[in-house]
């Protein structure tokens, strides 16, 4: 799964709001060639603990849309359903400079009849002055 997003820090206490997009593709183990693809977009609120420290735990949660696309070998059986989605995550942010940090997190992303747990790593770049 890949993710990207854009947000703003709300003050200096550790809160933020962001918009996130996700795209994942999983091969089915029971039928070779079948795939499920999940694009999603979420708006989320987050809170980062220990502001000012090098390692900052955080939690975040939000809601948006999630599309479940089933792509079987037999194309005529393909389905696609877009529904309300929710997400939540907890992770650690490792500050490596005044404008950059890395993160590792465990996340839940789901909607009706769809639930996945992505384990994500990534980089965050800040812009502008605090």
Partner 1 sequence: MRRFATPMMLGALAEAALSSPAAAQKPFAFLGGGVTFPMGSY
Separation of alpha carbons 94 and 123, rounded Å:
9
Q: Does 82 bind partner 1 (CB under 8 A)?
A: no
**CB of residue 50 to partner 1, shortest distance in Å:** 17
Question: Distances from the Cα of 5 to the Cαs of 19, 23, 29, 30, 50, in angstroms?
Answer: 5, 12, 30, 33, 22
Q: Does 26 bind partner 1 (CB under 8 A)?
A: yes
Residue with tokens 């590792």: 104
**Residue of 2, 31, 55, 90 interacting with partner 1 (CB under 8 A):** 2
> Cβ of 48: how many Cβ atoms within 10 Å?
21
**CB of residue 75 to partner 1, shortest distance in Å:** 20
Task: List residues near partner 1 by CB under 8 A.
Answer: 1-12, 15-18, 24, 26, 36, 43-45, 62-63, 84, 103, 110, 113-130
């Amino acid at each position: 799964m890949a993710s990207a997003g854009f947000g703003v820090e709300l003050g200096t206490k550790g809160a933020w709001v962001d918009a996130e997009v996700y795209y994942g593709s999983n091969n089915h183990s029971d039928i070779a060639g079948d795939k499920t693809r999940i694009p999603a977009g979420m708006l989320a609120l987050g809170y980062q603990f220990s502001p000012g420290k090098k390692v900052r735990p955080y939690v975040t949660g939000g809601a948006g849309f999630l599309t479940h696309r089933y792509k079987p070998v037999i194309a005529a059986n393909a389905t696609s359903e877009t529904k309300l989605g929710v997400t939540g995550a907890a992770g650690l942010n490792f500050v490596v400079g005044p404008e950059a940090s890395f993160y590792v997190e465990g996340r839940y992303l789901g909607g009706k009849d769809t639930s996945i747990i992505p384990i994500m790593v990534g980089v965050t770049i800040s812009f502008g002055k605090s």
